[in-house]
Amino acid sequence: MRALQLTGWQQDPELVEVDDPTPAPGEVIVRIGGAGACHSDIHLMHEFPAGLLPFDPPFTLGHENAGWVESVGAGVTGLEIGTPVAVYGAWGCGFCSRCLSGWDNYCENRAEYKREGGGLGFDGGMASLLRVPTARHVVPLGDLDPVDAAPLTDAGLTPYHAIKRSRHLLVPGSTALVIGAGGLGHMAIQILSAISPAQIIAVDQSEAALALAKTVGASHTVLAGDTAAAEVRDLTKGRGADLVLDFVGVDATIQLAVASARPLADVTLVGVGMGSYPFSFITVPYEVSLQSTYWGSVNELIEVIALGETGKIQAHVERYSLEDAPKAYAAMAAGTLRGRAVIVP
Ligand SMILES: NC(=O)c1ccc[n+]([C@@H]2O[C@H](COP(=O)([O-])OP(=O)(O)OC[C@H]3O[C@@H](n4cnc5c(N)ncnc54)[C@H](O)[C@@H]3O)[C@@H](O)[C@H]2O)c1
Ligand SMILES: [Zn+2]
Ligand SMILES: [Zn+2]
């Protein structure tokens, strides 16, 4: 089969011919319906130097996957061939206390494992078939279409986790600020609308992204720039936002995030822009918590899929063939993509 692989650091991916995977005991082979293109792949391919991550190329890209069960290895029971499934993407050891609670994204044996998941060290979903190491990582999709559902596994799951951990702050009259209304951000706005009464303000540097933000539920939109923090203050009666989600993570957006935060707020860094901010008594409003989050748990993916089944969240999907996948990344890097690009092999 053909696969879009990263074959070396700091370079474009290549379409290569690889063997079809066959399932070893305990494994599941998924026929890919859709594999989302995430901005993390751009960081991975072009921005991270060799040695920064615990794994090395070559591997097939695509960590946001859904499709149908193609075959199962010995010992896998209860999964019918042809079942539409989402693939949970953070593959941990399976036996540490975090993995056993469903938090494979925070596996305690990650350092020994030297891979993060399919598309992140292991072969991912930008190919016809994906090898999933355990049936624990496939979640039935019900009536959802795998192409539309693929983004739920990352663009949906990552913001869902970041929002859920701060849900106690999202009371009536509160504000959630979403910085970066792209693949993750446009899903965050829908999740906030679906599970909280907070007013939602979206900030982006692209007018087109802000237009999509408005369509999917943002109460207000603000163009990124010098006056953005003041505009957020105005829209919150001077108080600031109770939850700030930064889906960009460069110096400028973290500064905006902190400047927009209300005392007692959570400022959650999801974007991998590698910016930083000086944390001190004076530079951060009182009792604001700063944290980063990485993906979500498999249990949360089940909840995201349930939310998807209600129709309350749906990725705005732009479809690309496997051959055109590099064009999807180019559009994302240029900032012209709206919502999520999904590769349909
Ligand atoms: N922490 C995690 O678990 C996790 C998971 C997935 C993605 N990510 C990261 O989240 C970030 C977003 O990913 P995505 O796939 O949604 O990307 P995307 O390219 O689809 O969206 C990014 C959005 O941010 C906007 N933007 C860029 N720079 C901006 C700025 N300075 N000010 C305001 N808006 C700006 C863009 O116009 C775009 O709308 C990436 O850094 C990605 O690596 C993190
Ligand atoms: Zn991702
Ligand atoms: Zn583990």
Is the minimum distance from the CB of 181 to ligand 1 under 6 angstroms?
yes
Ligand 1 atom at minimal distance to the Cα of residue 249: 41
- Structure tokens belonging to residue 15: 């379409």
Among candidate residues 123, 121, 144, 156, the one with its CA nearest the CA of residue 68: 144
Which of the four pLDDT bands, split at 50, 70 and 90, describes residue 115? confident
- Per-residue pLDDT tens for 169-178? 999 999 999 9
CA of 20 to the centre of ligand 1 (A): 33
Task: Report how far apart, in Å, the C-alpha atoms of 321 and of each of 31, 138, 154, 263 are.
Answer: 15, 24, 20, 47
The mean-pLDDT minimum among 47-56, 63-72, 160-169 falls in: 47-56
pLDDT given at position 303 = 98
Q: What is the pLDDT of residues 73-95, one digit of tens each?
A: 999 999 999 999 999 999 999 99
CA of 89 to the centre of ligand 3 (A): 14
**From CA 254, how far away is CA 246, in angstroms rounded?**
7
For residue 259, what are its two tokens? 């400047």
Query: Is the C-beta atom of 221 inside 6 A of ligand 1?
Result: no
Largest interatomic CA distance in the chain: 61
**pLDDT for the residue 41:** 97
Please choose from 106, 260, 272 the residue to mutate so as to test ligand 1's pocket, defined by most ligand atoms within 8 A of CB: 272
- State the pLDDT at residue 160: 99
Q: Residue 272 pLDDT > 90, yes or no?
A: yes
Atom 2 of ligand 1: nearest residue by CA position: 294
Within 13 A of 181's CA, how many CA atoms are on the CB side? 33
**CB contact burial 179-212 (16+ within 10 A = b; e otherwise):** bbbbbbbbbbbbbbbbbbebbbbbbbbbeebbeb
Ligand 1 pocket, residue 247 CB under 6 Å? yes
Q: 295 CB under 6 A from ligand 1? A: yes
Cβ–ligand 1 distance for 151 under 6 Å, the answer no
Residue 206, ligand 1, Cβ within 6 A: yes
Per-residue model confidence as pLDDT tens digits over 291-332:
999 999 999 999 999 999 999 999 999 999 999 999 999 999
pLDDT at 147: 95
Q: Whose CA is nearest to atom 39 of ligand 1?
A: 182
- Cα–Cα distance for residue pair 176/242, rounded to 1 Å: 6
- The arithmetic mean of pLDDT across residues 90-113, rounded, is 94
In the predicted structure, residue 112 carries a pLDDT above the cut 90? no
Which pLDDT belongs to residue 28?
A: 98
What letter does residue 277 receive in the DSSP assignment? -
Write the pLDDT tens digit of every residue in 238-264: 999 999 999 999 999 999 999 999 999
Give the tens place of pLDDT for each residue, 186-237. Answer: 999 999 999 999 999 999 999 999 999 999 999 999 999 999 999 999 999 9
The pLDDT value recorded for residue 114 is 80
> Residue 111: its pLDDT value, please?
82
Structure tokens at 330: 């180019």
> Sign of the CA dihedral 319, 65, 291, 201?
positive
The confidence score (pLDDT) of residue 295 equals 98
What whole-number distance in Å separates Cα of residue 254 and Cα of residue 268?
9
Helices and strands counted in the chain (H then E): 11, 18
Question: Is the CB of residue 271 below 6 angstroms from any atom belonging to ligand 1?
Answer: yes
Token pair listed for 320: 């690309």
**118-137 burial string, b = 16+ CB within 10 Å, else e?**
bbbbbbbbbbbbbbbbbbbb
Mean pLDDT, all residues of the chain: 97
Q: How many CB atoms lie within 10 A of CB 231?
A: 17
What average pLDDT does this structure show over 54-62?
96
Of all protein residues, the one whose alpha carbon is nearest to atom 38 of ligand 1 is 182
Q: Is 253 in the pocket of ligand 1 (CB under 6 A)?
A: yes
**pLDDT of 113:** 80
CB within 8 Å of 105: residues ≥ 6 apart: 90, 92, 294, 295, 296, 297
Tens digit of pLDDT for each residue in 28-51?
Answer: 999 999 999 999 999 999 998 888
Cα 39 to ligand 2 centre (Å) = 6
